[in-house]
Amino acid sequence: MFVNRMPRYEILSPDAMNVLDAGWRRLMTEVGVEFASERAVRLFRDAGQKADGSLVRLDPDFVLEQVAKAPREFDVRARNPERSLHIGGDHMSFGAVYGPPFVREGEVRREATMNDFRDFARLAQSSGTLDSAGGVVCEPNDAPLDSRHLDMTYALQTLTDRVYMGNVVSGENARDTLAMSAILFGGREAIEETPVTISLINCNSPLRWDDRMLDAQFEYSAAGQPVVLTPFLLMGAMSPVTIPSALVQQITEALAGIALSQLIRPGCPVIFGSFLSNIDMQSGSPCFGTPESATGLLCTGQIARHFGLPFRSGGALTSSQVPDAQAAYEGLMTMLPTFLAGTNWVMHAAGWLEGGLVASYEKFIIDLQILEMLQQEFTPLEIDEASLAFGAHEEVGQGGHFLGAAHTMERFRTCFYRPFLSSSQNYERWMKGGAADTAARAAEIARKRLAEYEPPPLDTAVEAELADYVARRRAELGD
């Protein structure tokens, strides 16, 4: 997996961090956080915290004591051991887009299906750089609603050999994910020893954690599976319109959720989540890849490290309706800060289009190209005497070229990163080859990868047990 050994780009001064620290302490104490779950409120009460109905006003020092119980770094097992992940420190993991109800393929935009879900899982599996297909790589609208989570989990478990995300629609769905994970990884005890799935728990921002998400969190935290506690902040709608106020709110919401996880099971792994952008104040539309979101992302990394927590942020986000120039620049406006901040768990790293409403086949491939380039760029340069290639300069001298130099001949195959999607063909050759733009070439690559896809090997008994579980539970759920 990718380890980012380049420097972090930090933009918050100690003074600024102090202001933010005072801010979240005040917000946590004076305004408080709502937990729409009796179980959650009871845990806080039992720990000596003040609750007024579902509204909890937490003592900031108590919160920090809980946060300190969470591991700074932890492992997550994949069924292919080479694909297991380490979350935290300089390690970065990348998952596909999460949640879109629609897909786009060329000029066609339509409701996503289970076949799309499987195809995106296959594309994730065939990628060398993506660590996870994520969870809801698209919302399979043709699958029965109550048992859809079984189909999705089964697809992620069988079509990929990588870490997958757990279903969070309800506590029941979370229990199904855990049961299926226990089948795949050799029992509940095994998955409690080293976690095997990561789950996204979103805050209903501002300052409110909802019951269904909390029910899922209870299941996952109790089982020692990491949860990503994520304030969902589109500034102007779910938070005030200044970045500092959004950061303070983000800290308050995330730390409150993390404190809960540590009351559920002390020491269980958590990830400080961030989903931070802004709306267009004239239309109310969500905007992505904005300067404000990039700034927020850089700050978020520094804040998460301040609290000693791994963090989630970033992705190749865009508002663009098609995989065009805007889709690319907005995506990179988020992905480059994602690397500068050293984000540990990156969701939406491939395929996100149209504000997250659409999973795009072309954008998926474009994003993988960008991801590969960034991994290359964020690999430290080795500078030593040998790297200066003095002999090549002696050989070539003045005004010549290095194409045939001995130093070049020894290294020409591997000296530079070679893109699989970008074209540097000259105009005549490019025209002769059909003058395909980047989106068209990406579509062709997606088709080729799907045609060549081979499922990763899986013990047939395990696969049958998983299929049985899905069938039995589907029947119970009445689908």
Nearer to a copy of itself, 384 or 454 (CB): 384
> What is the smallest separation between the CB atom of 239 and a copy of itself, expressed in angstroms?
6
> What is the smallest separation between the CB atom of 327 and a copy of itself, expressed in angstroms?
6
Nearer to a copy of itself, 20 or 156 (CB): 20
Is 163 within 8 Å of 76 (Cβ atoms)?
A: yes
Q: How far is Cα 247 from Cα 250, in angstroms, rounded to an integer?
A: 5
Nearer to a copy of itself, 178 or 255 (CB): 255
E strands, 20-115, are 33-35, 50-52, 55-57, 74-76, 85-87, 91-94, 102-105, 108-111
Write out the two tokens for 76.
């997550």
Write out the two tokens for 450.
């799907």
Nearer to a copy of itself, 66 or 290 (CB): 290
> What is the smallest separation between the CB atom of 231 and a copy of itself, expressed in angstroms?
13
Nearer to a copy of itself, 160 or 338 (CB): 338
**Sequence letter at residue 371:** L
> What is the smallest separation between the CB atom of 61 and a copy of itself, expressed in angstroms?
20
The region that residue 285 occupies, defined by phi over 0 for left and psi between -120 and 50 for alpha, beta otherwise, is: beta
Only one residue has tokens 């970065």, namely: 92
Q: What angle do CA 211, 215, 221 make, to 5 degrees?
A: 135
DSSP 279-308: E-TTT--EE-S-HHHHHHHHHHHHHHHHTT
Write out the two tokens for 246.
């959004």
Nearer to a copy of itself, 21 or 146 (CB): 21
Nearer to a copy of itself, 29 or 113 (CB): 29
The DSSP secondary-structure symbol of 106 reads T
Residue 245 to residues 11, 61, 146, 187: CA-CA distances in angstroms?
16, 21, 38, 44
> What is the smallest separation between the CB atom of 200 and a copy of itself, expressed in angstroms?
19
> What is the smallest separation between the CB atom of 47 and a copy of itself, expressed in angstroms?
20
> What is the smallest separation between the CB atom of 438 and a copy of itself, expressed in angstroms?
4
